Amino acid sequence: MPHYNKLDKAELKELFAGLNAQYKEFQAKNLKLDMSRGKPEKGQLDISEKLMETLNIDDFSAENGEDCRNYGSLDGIPEAKRFMANIMEVAPENVFVGGNSSLNLMYNCVNFAFVHGMPESERPWCKEEKIKFLCPSPGYDRHFAITEQFGFELVTIPMTAEGPDMDAVEEAVKDPSVKGIWCVPKYSNPQGITYSDDTVRRFAALAPAAKDFRIFWDNAYAVHALDVDNLDPLLNVMAEAEKLGNEDILFIFSSTSKITFPGSGISATGMSAKNLKWFFGHTFFQTVCHDKVNQLRHAHMLPDFNCVLKHMKKHADILRPKFDIVLNALTPLGEEGIAEWTVPKGGYFVSVDVPVGCAKRTVQLCKEAGVVLTSAGATYPYGKEPEDKNVRIAPTFPPISELKQAMELFCLCVRLASVEKLLG
Amino acid sequence: MPHYNKLDKAELKELFAGLNAQYKEFQAKNLKLDMSRGKPEKGQLDISEKLMETLNIDDFSAENGEDCRNYGSLDGIPEAKRFMANIMEVAPENVFVGGNSSLNLMYNCVNFAFVHGMPESERPWCKEEKIKFLCPSPGYDRHFAITEQFGFELVTIPMTAEGPDMDAVEEAVKDPSVKGIWCVPKYSNPQGITYSDDTVRRFAALAPAAKDFRIFWDNAYAVHALDVDNLDPLLNVMAEAEKLGNEDILFIFSSTSKITFPGSGISATGMSAKNLKWFFGHTFFQTVCHDKVNQLRHAHMLPDFNCVLKHMKKHADILRPKFDIVLNALTPLGEEGIAEWTVPKGGYFVSVDVPVGCAKRTVQLCKEAGVVLTSAGATYPYGKEPEDKNVRIAPTFPPISELKQAMELFCLCVRLASVEKLLG
């Protein structure tokens, strides 16, 4: 198939007729597939079945002697802190272990700042005239949604192949109403980009006008490579910030949601001593403790970092073929000049740019033939992408056979949307 | 021993000398006991060991077919809703199942109101000049602490033998800045009082000036009787409120913290459809879902309400002797006119009134001899009791032998503090 831009009107009309016939056939199949969220498939959950058997029923003691079943240790048991410290690459004493959701820890940080203020705040953020938050885009819709929900103004920062455009970030933080930025530094959602050393160093050295500015460094995919033996190197942002005495600017997050069970894992945040005191102090009013039995399960099942890597290889073995299906399906679209994408080496998504103005239509066409994708625009602040070209593909949940069908349909819908656009 | 008030100065001095000698002996024992929190003892945790074995490793499906290990069902799986609905005496469709902490659900309700407002609020509570919250006292310090932390003014409502003084409540809610009240309606913390039918009916019919007023009905001890065959009857407040079309005034809470594991149980809230929609809508931004594997464990271990009651009898068998030790130890203090208390038929505490001005001194004396009690005043707003007479005893955690020693010391300290006071 030639490049679409080289086709004349008659050729486009003929193409459209053929594509449309194929589309009707797809609709007749009554597909019902979901590629909207970064959800592991059943086989990935089965990998962690040992999690349920790892505890000795006669001994729920943490290594500090505490009975994990009872109240206590709001910030987590020592072995769970160490476990999450390894993943986040911070010292165990800088770790607070939470419940099953790192999103909840992020929400809490924003919330505590809103209600009470950060340690350096002159007043709670709810008393500020205006708060702005930086959103590298395309990015994670659930991040943006939290700050939108609190009424902050979301500011789009373009993504580059090395991470957020740091010139734009450094310029934006001169505005004292800019209080934070969302980051997924490794195998980013949705592009799979790992921040370059230069990007990490510039974040570690960031000097915003707002003294209570925070970098929300969501290292959700720290060990989630498709080739675990060749994990993307990510410079240690905490170590870099500490060198400069700038460690208070960082909130680091991670979880085992895509290591063990998405609904029943453990989460953690890594913070400077000052931030940790602040976070602990506010969380104290919220709950007595998190689920330490589940913390103990995780620490027992994956006692050191090598075990974690070995475990992640099993995930990679399941995910690699799925990413291959997506990338292979996309190849002809590239030749036809109607799609561009980054090839992710980890994470849960493939981010595809279709022709300008064609993303919504592509998603709609897929939906009307039974395949649900992430809403077009969802990867941008307020769910609105000015150019309407980015589509996030989440290939992990459907089984291989369904994924193949879904990608076939996806490519067909990109073609249809593109031809419709060219025909005007 | 005669009534202390009948002793003359010389007799008091002689008494003091004897008590002081006994106290020195206690101090020499170097005790290190904790009776500060309502924490189950190890034997109570062992009762629920089946919780860890109840799941079939090959099937984590909820009855709606959902894989509990994965993301999904923010409001909980159907069997967990039914389980908590039985405990809270509301319809399953009115239940939202949370994580391991009902305190966190309560915090969230206050927080969502503060940041966004209740469904009927004219503006978020953070935009109000002043918010007041009613605190029936003595009451639960962790409740009061949440509303203090949000900067609300805490208003003390006296407790009666039938629950909060409803005349005082009905008068207080005429003030439109009064936005809520904390309640523990059954086996209340700390007195063990169960609200009378009249009290429940007056709550169900409450018509506050503030349209966004809420009753925080924390039914933490719904099935936590010392004689489970004779559970205190508590009128169904939701049913009463529904009769009057006043169901939106209620937030009901409960958890399994003192049914299974304090740190690893499940929590829930029961709400009207309108409130539930509001709560779900805000929780949606906070987390993807709660731990459904743990919900499934609970529903499997205790499949119906009879199983719950049978299970609670095992707790009662452990707790009854401990409450007997406390009450027997207190008896002479009553005869000496230096203590009054309510005899609880359930819950986790014995609330003791010592002579006015003697609570702090009693707690201090206990501490200096190695027994930690709940801080004096903790059961009142701001941790300050005007009369300084209430002490909360939490007898559940220490083993019998230690509890006996601790109560011996406690009585000695009440006597010492009382004599010191009488000597002026």
**Per residue in B336-376, pLDDT tens?**
999 999 999 999 999 999 999 999 999 999 999 999 999 99
A115 touches chain B (CB under 8 A): yes
Rounded to an integer, what is the distance from CA A369 to the centroid of its chain? 27
Min Cα separation B197/chain A (Å): 31
8 A C-beta contact, residue A326 and residue A367 = no
Question: From the list A45, A52, A67, which residue is nearest B67 (CB)?
Answer: A45
CATH homologous superfamily of A4-44+309-423:
Aspartate Aminotransferase, domain 1 (3.90.1150.10)
Q: What digits encode the pLDDT tens for the residues B181-229?
A: 999 999 999 999 999 999 999 999 999 999 999 999 999 999 999 999 9
Residue of A nearest to B109 (CA): A286
Among all residues of chain A, which has the CA nearest to that of B294?
A264
Name the pLDDT band for A1 (thresholds 50, 70, 90): low
Percent of chain B with pLDDT over 90: 95
**Residue B391: φ, ψ to 5°:** -125, 130
On whether the CB atoms of residues A264 and A294 are closer than 8 A, the answer is yes
- Cα separation, B15 vs B10, in Å, equals 9
Spell out the alpha helix ranges (H) of B284-304: 292-301
Name the least confident of A56-65, A94-103, B191-200. Answer: A56-65
Distance CA A380, CA B114 (A): 28
| DSSP 8-state assignment for residue A64 | T
Q: CA A77, CA B279: separation in Å to the nearest integer? A: 31
In whole angstroms, what is the distance from residue A298 CA to residue A258 CA? Answer: 13
Q: Which residues of B57-96 are buried (b: 16+ CB within 10 A; e: fewer)?
A: eeebebeeebbbbbbbbbbbbbbbbbbbbbbbbbebebbb
Contact B69 A262 (CB under 8 A): yes
CA nearest A99 in B: which residue?
Answer: B99
Q: Give the pLDDT mean for A322-342.
A: 97
CB-based contact (8 Å) between B70 and chain A?
yes
CB of B225 closer than 8 Å to CB of B346: yes
Q: How far apart are CA B407 and CA A322, in angstroms?
A: 66
Phi, psi of A269 (to 5 degrees): -130, 140
Q: Does A68 touch chain B (CB under 8 A)?
A: yes
Are residues A259 and A265 in contact, defined by beta-carbon separation less than 8 angstroms?
Answer: yes
Q: Is B49 part of the contact surface with chain A (CB cutoff 8 Å)? A: yes
Q: Is the pLDDT of residue A61 over 90?
A: yes
List A254's β-bridge partners, or say none. A268
Helix (H, G, I), strand (E, B) or coil at B269: strand
Helices B305-335/B400-423 angle, 10° precision: 40
Strand-strand pairing, B390-393 and B350-353: antiparallel
Average pLDDT over residues A313-318: 98
**Is B260:B49 a contact under the CB 8 Å cutoff?**
no
pLDDT at B232 over 90: yes
Chain A residues within 8 A of B288 when measuring between CB atoms: 101, 103, 142, 262-263
Distances (CA, A) of A167 to A138, A192, A218, B125: 17, 21, 21, 39
Q: Does pLDDT of A39 surpass 80?
A: yes
Answer whether the bond into residue B398 is a cis peptide, omega within 30°: no
Give the span between the Cα atoms of B174 and B158, in whole angstroms. Answer: 17
B55 touches chain A (CB under 8 A): yes
Say how far apart CA B80 and CA B91 lie, in whole Å: 12
pLDDT of residue B302: 95
Contacts with B290 from chain A: Cβ below 8 Å? 99-100, 263
Coil/strand/helix, residue A136: strand
What single DSSP character describes residue A196?
P
Helix (H/G/I), strand (E/B), else coil: B225: strand
B303 secondary structure, DSSP code: -
- Measured distance CA(B298)–CA(B165) in Å, rounded: 37
Chain B CA closest to residue A262: B70
Residue B56 confidence (pLDDT) above 80: no
Mean per-residue pLDDT, A71-79: 97
CB contact under 8 A, B68 and A264: yes
- Chain B contact present for A28, CB below 8 A: no
Instruction: Give the per-residue pLDDT at B346.
Output: 98
Note the pLDDT of residue A2: 74
Which ranges of A164-236 does DSSP label H, i.e. alpha helix? 166-172, 197-204
Say whether the peptide bond before residue A344 is cis (omega within 30 degrees of 0).
no
Query: Quick check: B74 contacting A, CB < 8 Å?
Result: no
pLDDT over threshold 80, residue A58: no
Q: Are A161 and A115 in contact (CB under 8 A)?
A: no
User: pLDDT by residue (tens digit) across B153-193?
Assistant: 999 999 999 999 999 999 999 999 999 999 999 999 999 99
Q: Which of residues 214-233 of B touch A (CB under 8 A)?
A: none
Distance from CA of A147 to the nearest CA of B (A): 9
The answer to whether the CB of B80 falls within 8 A of the CB of B292 is yes
Longest CA–CA separation in chain B, Å: 78
Query: What are residue B270's DSSP bridge partners?
Result: B95, B252
Structure tokens at B92: 């399953």
Q: Per-residue pLDDT for B2 more than 80?
A: no
How sure is the predictor about B1, in pLDDT bands with cuts at 50, 70 and 90? low
Nearest residue on chain B to A116, judged by CA atoms? B150
CA atoms within 13 A on the CB side of B96: 31
**Chain B nearest CA to A174, separation (Å):** 27
Tracing tokens 């199942």 back to the chain, one arrives at B97
pLDDT tens for each residue of A227-245? 999 999 999 999 999 999 9
Please give the C-alpha separations between residue B301 and each of A69, A70, A352, in angstroms, as whole numbers.
Answer: 16, 18, 47
Q: Which residues contact A56 (CB under 8 A, 6 or more apart)?
A: none
Mean pLDDT of B391-401: 95
B255-303 pLDDT tens trace: 999 999 999 999 999 999 999 999 999 999 999 999 999 999 999 999 9
A82: distance to nearest CA of chain B, Å? 20
The helix (H) or strand (E) run that includes residue B398 is none
Condensed to tens digits (0 to 9), the pLDDT of residues A376-400 reads: 999 999 999 999 999 999 999 999 9
Q: Which residues, 6+ apart, have CB-to-CB distance to B17 below 8 Å? A: none
Rounded to 5°, the CA angle B15-B17-B18 comes to 65
The residues in B 233-252 lying below 8 A from A, measured between CB atoms, are none
CATH class assigned to A61-303? alpha beta
Half-sphere exposure of B17 (CA within 13 A, CB side): 5
| Residue B263, token pair as written in the block | 């740190």
Highest mean pLDDT among A53-57, A180-184, B31-35: A180-184
Question: What three-state secondary structure class fits A203?
Answer: helix
Residue of B nearest to A101 (CA): B287
Cβ contact B52–A55 (<8 Å): yes
What is the pLDDT at residue B59?
86
Nearest to A107 among B37, B145, B285 (CB): B285
Single out the residue of A332, A333, A265 nearest to residue A102, CA to CA: A265
Residue A54 in contact with partner chain B when CB distance is under 8 A: no
Residues 6+ away with beta carbon under 8 Å from B120: B211, B212, B248
Percentage of residues in chain A having pLDDT higher than 90: 95
CATH 3.90.1150.10 residue window(s) in chain A: 4-44+309-423
Restricting to A residues 307-336, those with a Cβ less than 8 Å away from any Cβ of B are none
- Phi and psi at A361, nearest 5°, equal -65, -40
Q: Is B46 on the interface with A (CB under 8 A)?
A: no
- Between vectors from CA A399 to CA A397 and to CA A401, what angle results, nearest 5°? 140
Q: With contacts defined as CB-CB under 8 Å, which chain B residues touch A293?
A: 52, 261, 263-264
Among left, alpha and beta (phi > 0; psi -120 to 50; other), residue B205 is: alpha
The CATH 3.40.640.10 domain(s) of chain A lie at: 61-303
Q: What beta strand segments (E) does A320-394 contain?
A: 340-341, 350-353, 371-373, 390-393
